[in-house]
Chain A
């Protein structure tokens, strides 16, 4: 029953989030580094530190702190950032759209490139082109994301500076937007001047994130396609008079794509993890960049807020993948 499945799903999500929050809460309080000491000037007395500790509640037991925090979260209050003195929820939601747009752009690039490589490799299987694709995929996979970032900065930011390699948008354009979903908004309002500026900033970090995922998609999808091409229903379609391209796309692709879809779900969460480093590298004002600042400043409430949002994001992605799976595989639709 659908209602029951959704309910189970929601419950699991809640338990996951609760678990994540406990782990984060404990870990960031156990590791050395005092958030209060970070925010006070060098001349502060132990009494000053004591007073602020009490103010933020850091003198209570971890358990007491957790329940106070949880009590706030239930009412939509994720606490106040120690560094900026602003509500955590507002800060996190303000940055989330930037990271979402970057991650989705990277995903789209990865699917397009990976899909193209897989289809080409299948069409030309057994030829030198397929070999070249395999070698390229292997290389793309063996280089970590941040190194791709550096390579792209060097190539298209320094040697041949056609892209902006710093920030999300040219600063003077920020006031043009009503929402934080800049890319989305620019398309909806048909403001292609803004869109172009955004793309000049976003394409390189998105590409750096996309390269390894594209390689994985290309490799796995090509493998599944090649296996599917031997199946009886593909052979039967050939006897009907269909050519190679048609057979690959209409008969094989939809069945071959299922394992790749699962993999994309898993890899997309890694990709979002990768935004932390890539955003730093490209000074892109997203959640990842904010997370690094929060960790450096020991801004505990902010760290908690960011991690919870990331965890929520991962569960939502898994849910979407499950739903897509049901759409693509008719055998899962009943029962």
Chain B
């Protein structure tokens, strides 16, 4: 089975940084097959969100991709002109953002924020797009979709807004969705519902999903495969079932051991041991040196 999303040797640096500054992404490669859910985990700053942003063409201006390929549905996004890339991404991929409180435009009604892509980018009629939006709002179990579509974001709760954003992401029936920590900003009681909803929607629509998170518990519930990131480098790429049975990398194992367990609230926290950190840092440094030697790079 060929991958729907295939990232090959993707490296990015901070624009204008002096020569020899470490890369932000270090030759990242990963695949997401059609209908597959891949978790992308790592510490804060490991670059997991940045990979998602690169796929969707929304990297900050300060970040520059220096090498690599991002194949989405058989075309390399990085070889396209910016406007071609934008339309391609708009038509075949979507984002479920992190914070539902800031991801909806406060001065526009909900309806147009769901239908705009269908009408403007994909050329649907307004009536079709609105029917589709109502259908999807119903699917994400929002009561009275017609009323919600006329509402402004401030009239909805955080959980409702995230449901709206999920509906909006699935609206154009994309083959690829990037979920960027979609439950982190939510109330704990709502997190579980939203997570289940995303998993159900993904299964029903057969969408490939790149799930960015720092929560291994979430990974065990929704993901099929997993990439573990450290300092911009993929240190482990494995099936979720195998990972939880026997993590392949010492850092992954330490990360797994560090997850607090609700079943044993009195047990202390297990931080990643210093020796493991040193080992993984040495590994990253060695890879970096090899990369510099190998290519005519900065």
**CB distance A242 to B105 under 8 Å?**
no
CA gap between A231 and B99 in the complex, in Å: 11
* Interface residue A43 (Cβ < 8 Å from any Cβ of B): no
CA gap between A57 and B290 in the complex, in Å: 99
Which residues does chain B contribute within 8 Å of A238, judged by CB atoms?
56-58, 86
A239 and B56 contact, Cβ closer than 8 Å, known pairs A328-B107, A330-B107? yes
CA gap between A328 and B116 in the complex, in Å: 20
CA gap between A240 and B94 in the complex, in Å: 7
* Interface residue B89 (Cβ < 8 Å from any Cβ of A): yes
**CB distance B154 to A330 under 8 Å?**
yes
Chain B min CB distance to A124 (Å): 13
Whose C-beta in chain B lies nearest to the C-beta of A330? B152
**CB distance A232 to B57 under 8 Å?**
no
A330 and B121 contact, Cβ closer than 8 Å, known pairs A239-B89, A240-B116, A242-B90? no
Query: How many interface residues does B have (CB within 8 Å)?
Result: 30
- Within 87-140 of B, Cβ neighbours of A (below 8 Å) are at 87, 89-91, 93-95, 97-99, 102-108, 116-117, 120-121
* Interface residue A52 (Cβ < 8 Å from any Cβ of B): no
* Interface residue B83 (Cβ < 8 Å from any Cβ of A): yes
Chain A min CB distance to B153 (Å): 9
Query: What are 14 inter-chain pairs, A to B, with CB distance below 8 A?
Result: A126-B61, A232-B103, A236-B165, A238-B56, A239-B94, A240-B90, A240-B94, A241-B86, A241-B89, A241-B91, A242-B90, A251-B105, A255-B107, A330-B152
Interface string of A221-249 (1 = CB under 8 A from B): 00000000001110111111111001000
A255 and B116 contact, Cβ closer than 8 Å, known pairs A238-B58, A331-B154? no
A232 and B97 contact, Cβ closer than 8 Å, known pairs A242-B121, A243-B86? yes
**CB distance A241 to B121 under 8 Å?**
yes
A240 and B152 contact, Cβ closer than 8 Å, known pairs A255-B106, A331-B106? no
Chain B min CB distance to A224 (Å): 13
CA gap between A10 and B97 in the complex, in Å: 46
- Within 44-98 of B, Cβ neighbours of A (below 8 Å) are at 56-58, 61, 83, 86-87, 89-91, 93-95, 97-98
List A residues at the B interface (Cβ < 8 Å).
126, 231-233, 235-243, 246, 251, 254-255, 328-331
Chain A min CB distance to B101 (Å): 9
Which residues does chain B contribute within 8 Å of A242, judged by CB atoms?
86, 90, 120-121
Indicate which residue in B87, B94, B102, B117 contacts A233 across the interface (CB closer than 8 Å). Answer: B102
CA gap between A239 and B107 in the complex, in Å: 19
**CB distance B102 to A241 under 8 Å?**
no
List B residues at the A interface (Cβ < 8 Å).
56-58, 61, 83, 86-87, 89-91, 93-95, 97-99, 102-108, 116-117, 120-121, 152, 154, 165
Query: Chain B CB within 10 Å — which of A239, A240, A241, A242 has the most?
Result: A240
**CB distance B56 to A243 under 8 Å?**
no
CA gap between A240 and B106 in the complex, in Å: 17
Taking A235-B97, A241-B89, A329-B106 as given, write out 10 further A-B residue pairs in contact, using a Cβ cutoff of 8 Å, ordered by the A residue number.
A232-B98, A238-B56, A239-B89, A241-B91, A243-B83, A243-B86, A246-B120, A255-B107, A328-B107, A330-B154
Whose C-beta in chain A lies nearest to the C-beta of B104? A233
Which residues does chain A contribute within 8 Å of B116, judged by CB atoms?
237, 240
CA gap between A328 and B154 in the complex, in Å: 14
CA gap between A254 and B108 in the complex, in Å: 9
CA gap between A331 and B104 in the complex, in Å: 13
CA gap between A233 and B58 in the complex, in Å: 12
**CB distance A331 to B93 under 8 Å?**
no
Chain B min CB distance to A329 (Å): 7
Which residues does chain A contribute within 8 Å of B91, judged by CB atoms?
241
Which residues does chain B contribute within 8 Å of A255, judged by CB atoms?
105-107
Which residues does chain A contribute within 8 Å of B86, judged by CB atoms?
238, 241-243
A232 and B99 contact, Cβ closer than 8 Å, known pairs A240-B121, A241-B86, A330-B107? yes
**CB distance B93 to A239 under 8 Å?**
yes
Which residues does chain B contribute within 8 Å of A254, judged by CB atoms?
107-108
**CB distance A235 to B58 under 8 Å?**
yes
CA gap between A241 and B85 in the complex, in Å: 8
**CB distance B103 to A233 under 8 Å?**
yes
Which residues does chain B contribute within 8 Å of A240, judged by CB atoms?
90, 94, 116-117, 121
CA gap between A239 and B121 in the complex, in Å: 11
Which residues does chain A contribute within 8 Å of B90, judged by CB atoms?
239-242
Chain A min CB distance to B181 (Å): 12
Chain B min CB distance to A80 (Å): 52
CA gap between A237 and B90 in the complex, in Å: 9
CA gap between A238 and B90 in the complex, in Å: 8
